[in-house]
Amino acid sequence: MAFKNEKDKNKIQRFGSEQIRKLIAFYCPTCHILTNRCESLKKNKMKIFKPITIALTFLFSSQLAFSQEISLFNSDGEAIAYIDTEDEDLTIYMWKGTPVAYLDSDGDIFNIYGFNGEHLGWYKNGIIRDHKGYAVGFKKGATNTYTKYEPYKAYKKYKPYKAYKKYAPYKPYDKNNFSNESLSLFLMKGKK
C-alpha cells in the first residue's frame, strides 16, 4: 500500500481499522480492570494506558467452536446434549459423548429420529418439541430461560448404524409450556 507521506502512514498504523480498535482493551491501574473507558481516568486526567490486545485467534477460534456444536438445555437451563453441525447427519450427542439421535430436514423444521428408528419429536427455531407439542429442550437464546454454565464435554463415542425410520406423526400445535419429561429421558429413547 502506497502512502502519500509518512504522516498518513503513521495515522493508519496508529488507529487501525474500526473492527480491530473495538477488540483492544486497556488496563486501568486505578480500577484494576480491563476496559475501553474508565471513569477514574477522566477524573484523574491520566493519559497513560497500557494497551492489551486481545488475541484475535482466540476470539475467532472460540466462535468457530461454538458454530460447530449447538448445546441443548433442559427446562432447568442445564446443558444435557449437543448437536454436532459438522456431522452430515446432524447427530445429537449426550453430554457424556453417547450418540442418541439425529436430525432429518423436513422443510423449515427438523424431525428428530433415534438411532433405533423411532421418531422422537421436532426441532424448530432452536426448540425441541415432543409428540404433544410441549418443549423438551432448547438451544441458548431460543427461550428466555436462564442457562447454566456448560461443563466440559466427554469424547464422542462411535455412532451406531441407523435403523429404518418410522413415519413421523402429525405435528401438533406448539404449546408454551415445558413437558414433564426430561430432555435426558426424551433423547435416550432413541439410543440403540
CB atoms within 10 A of CB 186: 24
| Domain edges within the chain | 16-54, 69-188
Total-model pTM: 0.64
Nearest Cα to Cα of residue 105 among 158, 164, 168: 168
Nearest Cα to Cα of residue 28 among 11, 44, 5, 4: 44
* Bridge partner list, 93: 82, 99
CB 135 within 8 A of CB 75: yes
Mind listing the pLDDT tens digit for each residue in 65-109? 444 899 999 999 999 999 999 988 899 999 999 999 999 998 889
Mind listing the pLDDT tens digit for each residue in 126-135? 999 999 999 9
